[in-house]
Structure 1
Amino acid sequence: MEPVLIITNFPDKKSALALAETLIDQHLAACVNALSPCTSIYRWQGAMDSAEETPVLIKTQRQHYERVEQLIKMMHPYELPEVIMVPILSGLPAYLQWIADETTLIK
C-alpha cells in the first residue's frame, strides 16, 4: 500500500467536482476535496498573471497516479495543469487502509 496525495487546481468548482465524481466512480480515489476558491499568482509565458482557482486534493494510491494524471489532463481546460503527487509517509492506519480499500479496482 502506497498512499499518495495528488494536488491540482481547476478554474471553477463545477469542473473540480466533475473530476472528483469521475475519480470516485472509477475507484481511482477514496476521497477528493474541492476546496474554496483561492487566488493563484504565477508567471506564464513570460508575464505575471493571476487567476481564481479551486484547489483539489485527491487521496489515492501510487499505482493509480498515471490514470489520475491522464484524467486531469483530459478534463482540464488549461494547456499546462498543475499535477503534483506527494507521498503520504504516515497517517492514521485505519484511514490509510480505507484509502487502499476504496481504491482497489473492481475486476
Structure 2
Amino acid sequence: MTAIAVVTTVGDKKEARRMAHALVEAGLAACAQVEKIDSVYAWKGAIEHGKEYRVLFKTTEARYEAVESAIRDMHSYELPAIYAVAVERIFAPYAAWIESGAS
C-alpha cells in the first residue's frame, strides 16, 4: 500500500467542506484537511490574487483515479488543480489506518 496526499484548491469554505465530507463518507479518503490560503497565480494573461481553500485528502495510490474523478465531478473551477504527493515514509499504524479508513 502506498499512501498519498491528493490536493486541490477551491474558492470557498462551503465547497471545500462539501468535497471533504463527500470523499471521506464515500470511503475514497480516510481524512480530509481544509485550510484557508492566499493564492497568486497567472490566469488568462493576467496575474490574479485571491483567497482559496486547500483541501488535502489522505488516501492510497490505488484510489487516486476515483478520488480525482470525484473531485472533478464536484469542482466549480474551469481548470481545477488536482495532484497527488507520495508519502515516502509513514508510521506503519497510521498507514494502516489510511488504508482501512479509505475503503
TM-score w.r.t. structure 2 length?
A: 0.95
Name 2:16's counterpart in structure 1.
16
Task: For residue 38 of structure 1, report the CA deviation from its aligned partner.
Answer: 1.5
Alignment of 1:25-104 (within 5 A): 25-35=25-35, 37-104=36-103
Q: Cα deviations across residues 7-56 of structure 1 (Å, max 9, x unaligned)? A: 11111111011111111111000000011x22100001111111110111
Give me the identity figure in percent. Answer: 36
Distance (whole Å) between structure 2 residues aligned to residue 29 and residue 80 of structure 1: 22
User: How many residues align structurally?
Assistant: 103
Name 2:2's counterpart in structure 1.
2
Helix, strand or coil for the counterpart of 1:78?
coil
Aligned-partner residue type, residue 82 of structure 2: V
Aligned-partner residue type, residue 80 of structure 1: L
Aligned-partner residue type, residue 63 of structure 1: A
Q: Cα deviations across residues 38-81 of structure 1 (Å, max 9, x unaligned)? A: 21000011111111101111000111111111111111111001
Aligned-partner residue type, residue 72 of structure 1: I
Helix, strand or coil for the counterpart of 1:77?
coil
Helix, strand or coil for the counterpart of 2:16?
helix
Distance (whole Å) between structure 2 residues aligned to residue 52 and residue 29 of structure 1: 25
Question: If each structure's strand is expressed as a fraction of its own residues, which one has the higher value?
Answer: 2
Structure 1, unaligned runs of 5 or more? none
Structure 2, unaligned runs of 5 or more? none
